């Protein structure tokens, strides 16, 4: 403690929720209850099983109550996070095994529950897949509640009723704890584990609490009562900050507040350049509940609805009716704004936990996206029929992922026609003018873009994949992350070819990969002729801010320079110079 309290120390992690805060630390999780093993008499076993059942019912009631409060206070999307927790309590395989351990090993319920649940959680946590790792966190969250109920103990600290403002430090903060944070008193939080896509990170962003995750051993190195500064923009915690550091951060906070105010001011204003060029800014969404943030951040529609999350986030495939309801609800909520529904993009890093998919040597080059759908016809048929039915709302567009050549596009289009014919026979309405788009994510698609453009109504460039396939750089591998260069001359030229082919065939081009959400690259994309940008909703205001300070002429000059340049870093430097020059407040503290 004495050492820890001396001198300034900096810890670096992953920034997941923007903002800077400073205050006293509250370090959680040091006093976890110990789970002792007790051997029971045969005659005590039925009561032990009953005790377990009562704790499960109590836990379920608590979770439903948290879910209700979260849904009321934060929205249904946040509330639905607890569906995964409730499912753990209904998992018969897990619960039957706990009962078996109680009965066969004649042990107490908390010991049996802890042992079995921890084994499940450890197996999930060890798999190299963000989604499954999150399920491990959910399982541990539920386990901790069940154990507290079995042991009859209250949560260590009631996060709803903190007495003074503090920054929470914890090994892991579960979604249910995060949801209960008292916003008036929790200045920010930091955890040892976690990723950008974890539910806890999603919660932090929704609550607008600055947060940093992935700080490894932070919770062991800091003490309750120490003073620290948390920088959610850059993923930094500084304990015992010096006056100089506090002064510097004071400046940052003042600038950020002004910037956020400016961004709020333009929410409802159009994305138009200083010389009058109008750009469409749309949102990327993953689930039906995301429509709230589409509206909140001033998006002009949905440019990419990643439908695979409807399939991944459950233990069985959604049927046509369930999908129809999801697509229809998004379309109805956003009407007349357009909603681009992308067909299933499973494979690569996105798999269904409940489907037996053979392991592949190169999953990103394997059985994924449109390739999977063209073979799994029943699954594709249900999805296409659901999208077609939902298109009766009048504002839906359909889009295929990972098209690598003309055959795939014509086969998929033929299926759409077949299912349209079915619906006509069944007298089920759909949009006869439904537009169909192709994602441009492979170099081969760029090369045959003219042919593709003749057979669809729009293009959307998936730069996340286009970069990985063109530069042969795995988008998930941090060892070669330095080679993943959006401003590589090859990428610049591929985007230009795609735009040229599209415009030659009089169709529009959007970019829906992460390049579209980086304000540094906005001018380059605009100058290359991109018509629409589709990004995660909270990132829209910054891109719009930049567009409103840019002239199309400047953007075209930048693109011209980039097309003639041979170096990725020189192109990037030019992009940075222009962005910083026209919108310095966006970049000052990064």
Nearer to ligand PEP, 306 or 549 (CB): 306
> Between residues 22 and 496, which has the closer beta carbon with respect to ligand PEP?
496
Contacting residue, 513, 519, 537, 538, with ligand PEP by CB under 6 A:
513
512 included as an active-site residue: yes
Q: Which of residues 422-451 bind ligand PEP (CB under 6 A)?
A: 441
DSSP H helices in 75-198: 76-79, 81-89, 92-105, 109-126, 130-151, 175-180
In angstroms, give the least distance from the CB of 441 to ligand PEP.
5
SS3 content of the chain, % helix, strand, coil (to 5): 55, 15, 30
Binding mask 446-475 for ligand PEP (x = CB under 6 A): ----------------xxxx----------
Q: Which residue has the tokens 């999603």?
A: 202
Which of ligand PEP, Mg ion, none lies near 496, with the C-beta cut-off 5 to 8 A by kind?
Answer: none
Instruction: Provide CB contacts within 8 A for 167, sequence distance 6+.
Output: 21, 22, 23, 24, 25, 26, 186, 187, 188, 189, 190, 228, 230
Catalytic entry in 85, 114, 171, 199: 199
Rule CB under 6 A: is residue 389 a binding residue for ligand PEP? no
Is 61 strand, coil or helix? helix
Q: Which of 303, 184, 169, 297 is nearest to 223 (CA)?
A: 169
CB of 20 to ligand PEP, least distance (A): 30
Under the criterion CB under 6 A, does residue 78 sit at the interface with ligand PEP? no
**Strand duo 532-535 + 508-511: pairing:** parallel
> Which of Mg ion, ligand PEP, none binds 286 (CB below 5-8 Å, type-dependent)?
none
> Is residue 502 a contact point for ligand PEP (CB under 6 A)?
no
Structural element, H or E, at residue 502: helix 489-504
For residue 65, CA distances in Å to 68, 74, 162 come to 5, 14, 20
Q: Which of 13, 214, 462, 486 is close enough to bind Mg ion by CB under 5 A?
A: 462
Cβ proximity to Mg ion: between 194 and 462 the closer is 462
Pattern of binders to Mg ion over 436-455, x per CB under 5 A?
Answer: -----x--------------
Residue 306 contact among Mg ion, ligand PEP, none, beta carbon within 5 to 8 Å by kind: ligand PEP
Q: What is the DSSP string of 252-281?
A: HHHHHHHHHHHHHHTTTS--B-TT--B-EE
411 binds, among ligand PEP, Mg ion, none (CB under 5 to 8 A by kind): none
Q: What is the CA radius of gyration of the chain?
A: 26
- β-strands 236-239, 9-12 pairing: antiparallel
Nearest-approach distance from CB 513 to Mg ion, in angstroms: 7
Where does this chain bind Mg ion (CB under 5 A)? 441, 462, 465
Catalytically active residues, by annotation: 199, 512
Where does this chain bind ligand PEP (CB under 6 A)? 304, 306, 345, 441, 462-465, 512-513
């Amino acid at each position: 403690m004495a050492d820890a309290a001396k001198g300034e120390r900096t810890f670096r992690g992953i920034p997941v929720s923007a903002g800077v805060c400073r205050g006293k630390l509250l370090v959680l999780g040091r006093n976890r209850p110990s789970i002792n093993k007790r051997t029971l008499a045969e005659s005590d076993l039925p009561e032990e099983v009953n005790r377990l059942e009562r704790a499960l019912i109590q836990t379920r009631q608590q979770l439903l109550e948290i879910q209700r409060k979260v849904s009321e206070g934060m929205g249904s999307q946040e509330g639905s996070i607890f569906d995964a927790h409730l499912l753990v309590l209904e998992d018969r395989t897990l619960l039957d095994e706990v009962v078996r351990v109680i009965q066969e090993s004649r042990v107490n319920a908390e010991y049996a529950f802890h042992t079995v649940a921890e084994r499940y959680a450890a197996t999930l946590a060890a798999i190299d897949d963000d989604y499954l790792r999150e399920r491990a966190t959910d399982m541990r969250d539920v386990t901790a509640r069940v154990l507290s109920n079995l042991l009859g103990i209250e949560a260590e600290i009631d996060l709803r009723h903190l007495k003074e403002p503090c920054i929470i430090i914890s090994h892991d903060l579960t979604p249910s704890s995060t949801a209960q944070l008292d916003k008036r008193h929790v200045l920010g939080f930091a955890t040892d584990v976690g990723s950008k896509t974890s539910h806890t990170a999603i919660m932090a962003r929704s609550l607008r609490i600055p947060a940093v995750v992935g700080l490894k051993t932070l919770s062991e190195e800091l003490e309750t009562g120490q003073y620290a500064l948390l920088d959610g923009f850059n993923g930094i915690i500084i304990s015992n900050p010096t006056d100089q550091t506090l002064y510097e951060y004071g400046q940052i906070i003042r600038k950020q507040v002004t910037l956020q105010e400016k961004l709020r001011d333009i929410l409802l204003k159009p994305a138009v350049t200083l010389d009058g060029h109008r750009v469409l800014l749309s949102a990327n969404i993953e689930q039906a509940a995301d429509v709230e943030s589409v509206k909140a951040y001033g998006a002009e529609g949905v440019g990419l609805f990643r439908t695979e999350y409807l399939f991944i986030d459950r233990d069985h495939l959604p049927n046509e009716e369930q999908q129809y309801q999801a697509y229809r609800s998004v379309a109805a909520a956003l009407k007349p704004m357009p909603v681009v529904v992308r067909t299933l993009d499973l494979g690569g890093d996105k798999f269904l936990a409940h489907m037996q998919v053979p392991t592949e040597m190169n999953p990103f080059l394997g059985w994924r996206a449109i390739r999977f759908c063209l073979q799994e016809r029943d699954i594709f048929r249900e999805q296409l029929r659901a999208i077609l039915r939902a298109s009766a709302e009048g504002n839906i567009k359909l889009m295929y992922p990972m098209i690598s050549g003309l055959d795939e596009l014509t086969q998929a289009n033929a299926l759409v026609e077949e299912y349209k014919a079915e619906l006509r026979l069944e007298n089920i309405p759909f949009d006869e003018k439904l537009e169909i788009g192709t994602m441009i994510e492979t170099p081969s698609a760029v090369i045959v873009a003219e042919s593709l453009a003749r057979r669809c109504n729009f293009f959307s460039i998936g730069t996340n994949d286009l970069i990985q396939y063109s530069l042969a750089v795995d988008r998930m591998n941090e060892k070669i992350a330095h080679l993943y260069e959006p401003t590589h001359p090859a990428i610049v030229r591929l985007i230009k070819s795609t735009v040229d082919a599209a415009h030659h065939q009089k169709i529009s081009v959007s970019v829906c990969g992460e390049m579209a959400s980086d304000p540094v690259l906005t001018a380059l994309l605009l100058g290359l002729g991109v018509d629409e940008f589709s990004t995660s909703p909270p990132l829209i205001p910054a891109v719009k801010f930049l567009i409103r300070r840019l002239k199309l002429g400047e953007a075209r000059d930048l693109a011209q320079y980039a097309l003639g340049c041979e170096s990725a870093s020189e192109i990037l430097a030019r992009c940075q110079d222009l962005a910083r020059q026209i919108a310095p407040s966006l970049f000052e503290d990064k």
